[in-house]
Amino acid sequence: MRTAPSPIPPIAWAGLFLGAGIVSGLVGLLAGLWGALGSLVLAALAVAILAWRSAAHWRARRTILATPFPEAWRAVLREWCDHYNRLPEALRVRFEKDLRIFLAEKLISGVGVEVVDELRVLVAASAVTLSLGWPEYDWEQLNEVLLYPDDFDRDYEFGADDLSGQAHPWGTVILSVPALCQSFRDPDDAYHVGFHEFAHLLDLEQTRFDGIPRGFDDAAARRWVEVREREIPQMLRGESLLDEYGAHDPVEFLGVAVEAFFETALAMRRNHGELYELLAKYFQQDPAAWDDARGLTLERPSRPRPPRPKGRTGRSRPRSRLSA
Ligand SMILES: [Zn+2]
């Protein structure tokens, strides 16, 4: 099984262009010396531009990481982000690095919301939780995150509790701020609007979602479908850790499974072992093992709870849906 959706790095694009240039040069050779030279010059130009862009990209990242990780951001992660707190030290360092790169490279905008640093960190932590096991993964399919002040309906009117998040095939993710805070506040209820919406972007093929994580090879995709078909009847009977919301649509199954994998890792490993194993290989992460290491058990859940955020409390479990 391929383990990660891997965008083609710029250097690979450069190699492709170089190869294309050589081929076109050979073809041009058949048409004459000037044809071959023209093709090679064009190919060399393309390679130079790509190499320059690639170097600029890595220089920018080095600059981003040149200063110490902001202590205020670390405090937010410690207070709010259970996944960060469960990680071994080396992965926690990588989490911080990935989070900084995400925040430097991705656009997060508020719609009637002031996008304070704490919110930016929670958005980035949602995405980085999923991509932590994939070095250099850069969420290329994400164009913008929009933060809404409340849940919303299908006409994007605030106040309805119809939607708490949305992922669009063109790369826009919408998150309701109260739902995002609720997601981090309760780290083991298998609900997390951030994980859910970013998980949708992981099965984005061209401009559509298909419910199978990008990067699965044929065998893994077949196994994913078999496991899904076995899980769905339990979900419909309400006998699953996975929210029944994911039983009606393969795309939503993936989102719901990812939420449960990160939020209820020990129970997922025990009750949905095959699904847990598939997701652990896919994400290259083993959250249940990390929960073991910090002494958590299913019988004695003892993870520290973060402080309750200001604002709405006691709201019912919000739903997160994909736009039609
Ligand atoms: Zn969804």
Q: Of residues 310 and 274, which shows the higher confidence score?
A: 274
For residue 211, count other CB atoms closer than 10 A to its CB. 18
The token duo for 26 is 């050979």
Please give the pLDDT value at position 176. 96
pLDDT 10s digits, 218-229? 999 999 999 999
Please give the pLDDT value at position 24. 67
Ligand 1 centroid distance, CA of 243 (Å): 11
Ligand 1 centroid distance, CA of 234 (Å): 19
Please give the pLDDT value at position 317. 42
pLDDT over 50 at 305, yes or no: no
Helix (H) or strand (E) segment spanning residue 269: helix 265-271
Ligand 1 centroid distance, CA of 160 (Å): 17
pLDDT 10s digits, 100-150? 999 999 999 999 999 999 999 999 999 999 999 999 899 999 999 999 999
| Contact between 5 and 283 (Cβ < 8 Å) | no
Ligand 1 centroid distance, CA of 164 (Å): 10
Please give the pLDDT value at position 162. 87
| Contact between 145 and 300 (Cβ < 8 Å) | no
Identify the top-confidence range among 29-43, 241-255, 297-311: 241-255
Ligand 1 centroid distance, CA of 129 (Å): 17
Claim: this prediction has a pTM higher than 0.75: yes
Cα–Cα distance for residue pair 48/148, rounded to 1 Å: 42
Ligand 1 centroid distance, CA of 97 (Å): 28
Please measure the distance between the N-terminal and C-terminal CA atoms of the chain and give it in whole angstroms: 30
* DSSP output for 200-223: HHHTEETTEE-SS-TT--HHHHHH
Cα–Cα distance for residue pair 17/19, rounded to 1 Å: 5
pLDDT band at 316 (very low <50, low <70, confident <90, very high): very low
Helix (H) or strand (E) segment spanning residue 129: helix 117-131
pLDDT over 50 at 315, yes or no: no
- Ion ligand 1 contact residues with beta carbon within 5 A: 252, 255, 322
Average pLDDT of span 72-85: 98
**Collapsed DSSP state (helix, strand, coil) of residue 125:** helix
Ligand 1 centroid distance, CA of 89 (Å): 32
| Contact between 261 and 235 (Cβ < 8 Å) | no
What is the CA 301 to chain-centroid distance, rounded? Answer: 26
Q: Which residues contact 185 (CB under 8 A, 6 or more apart)?
A: 80, 305, 306, 308, 309
Ligand 1 centroid distance, CA of 255 (Å): 6
Ligand 1 centroid distance, CA of 149 (Å): 19
Ligand 1 centroid distance, CA of 321 (Å): 4
Residue 167: strand pairing partners? 173
Q: Of residues 237 and 318, which shows the higher confidence score?
A: 237
